[in-house]
Amino acid sequence: MKKLIFDAKDSLLDNGLRVITIKKETQIMSIQIGVSIGAMYESIEEKGISHFIEHMLFKGTAFRSNETLNNDLEFLGGEYNAYTDYKATIYSISALEEEISSSLDLLSDMIINSSFKEEEIERERGVILSEARSSLDDVENLTFKKLNEIAFVNSPLRWDIIGEEKNIKSFNREQLIRFYNKFYTPQNSILVMVSSLDHSEALSKINSKFGSWKGEFSNKNSIIVEKNNPTIKTTIKRDIEQSSIAYLYTFHDLPKEKELPLKILNHKLGESANSILFRELREKLGLAYDVYTDLDMTPQIKTMAIYTAVSEENISSAMEAIDRCIEDIKNKKIRFNDDTVNLMSKVHKTAVISTIEDSTDLANYVLHQALEKENIHAYIEDMKALENISSKSIYDVANIVLENPTIHILKNEID
């Protein structure tokens, strides 16, 4: 088990920025900073503003133009990225260790000194609108967008992270800067760095770039937590070759000790390449090329989804097969035994080791655990808990979670 524990140190800068340094033998370092603001904290009028600001942080600073900033990022020779999710906005750089100082300089400049020039805002507005419209052309994305709209009335999960088109069109510089100044503060952020540097040296380098960052913590909007609406609804889209089916379940009241059995259930139901749904819909019935489940255990989200795409004439058959698989699990006709738990133990250990060995994946894992105030070594607890998982606990959680789904069917418009 010792091989599964990485060397991490948790520190706090004088300005309130939480820093987690991870020391490992590597030539590739990774620096990731998470700002604890995302789509779930936005008001209706703000939907999309977190994502818009994420884009703007690449469009120039007080010291670098758009072109200079992106040339400098490119010149690192590694990978740089950013994304906005429901609860946080993440910025990352992974490169050779010799680029640590340059990477910290660039990230700190972006986070602290972004300029939000009017011409860049207008240019990026068009990019984001194009991104939003492109997502509507993607059947899978559109399926989940409509699924969430059907499933929720007040939950922020109802709205796309990218935002409403009318909002994207209306955001002005003053709004963007006000939101940025309110939430892009050291006390509302966490930085994780994975490198071979000693903790003290790593912290010193981070402090030299981020120590001057100022700003006080601001209260965020409370998050509305809502159970899914159990219903079935069909929507229409013109000129699509295949129809899609998506199920959604929520499990906000599920006890913590039942989350690990749920992970095992999810893996066997639709996450693995040899899953129950894959074997039934693709291998046995030949109804679908792709079928999978998606489990989000993030606090205040807690969703499990099933997705597949089939020809229109096979919609009913596919839904009957999905429902049959679920009922067979709940009624113990599909067996979970010691082999199931042993397999999950191997899968979990493989995933853990893969994450620990990759600097970027490790930084991202630790950052998200920290943002959610979870133990960064929680996977060790899961490894131990797997030893006590029984088939009964898997059946129990199936009967709790796999009830009263929201079901969305997307099909082609017929002239």
Would you say 176 and 53 are in contact if contact means Cβ atoms under 8 Å apart? yes
Q: Is 70 exceeded by the pLDDT of residue 415?
A: no
Taking only the tens place, the pLDDT of each residue in 39-71 is 999 999 999 999 999 999 999 999 999 999 999
Taking only the tens place, the pLDDT of each residue in 15-26 is 999 999 999 999
Strands 406-412 and 232-237: parallel
- Residue 176 has a pLDDT of 98
Range 396-412 average pLDDT = 97
Q: 321 by DSSP, 3-state: which?
A: helix
- Report d(CA 286, CA 160) in Å as an integer: 33
Taking only the tens place, the pLDDT of each residue in 321-348 is 999 999 999 999 999 988 888 888 888 8
Range 76-92 average pLDDT = 97
User: 2-210 domain in CATH 3.50.30.40?
Assistant: no
Q: Would the CATH topology of 2-210 be identical to that of 232-412?
A: yes
- Report d(CA 186, CA 210) in Å as an integer: 8
Q: 185 by DSSP, 3-state: which?
A: coil
Q: How far does Cα 403 stand from its chain's mean position?
A: 24
Average pLDDT of the chain, as a whole number: 95
Domain ranges of the chain: 2-210, 232-412
**DSSP result, 223-281:** PPP------EEEEEETT-SSEEEEEEEE-TT--GGGHHHHHHHHIIIIISTT-HHIIII
- Residue 91 has a pLDDT of 98
Dihedral of alpha carbons 164, 169, 170, 176, sign? positive
Tokens 């700003």 belong to which residue?
Answer: 215
Range 108-122 average pLDDT = 98
Could you tell me the pLDDT band of residue 100, with boundaries at 50, 70 and 90?
very high
% the chain with pLDDT above 70: 99
**What is the C-alpha R_g of the chain?**
23
Nearest to 151 by CA among 208, 233, 91: 233
CATH of domain 232-412: 3.30.830.10
The residue length of the chain stands at: 415
Query: What are the structure tokens assigned to 304, written together?
Result: 């499990």
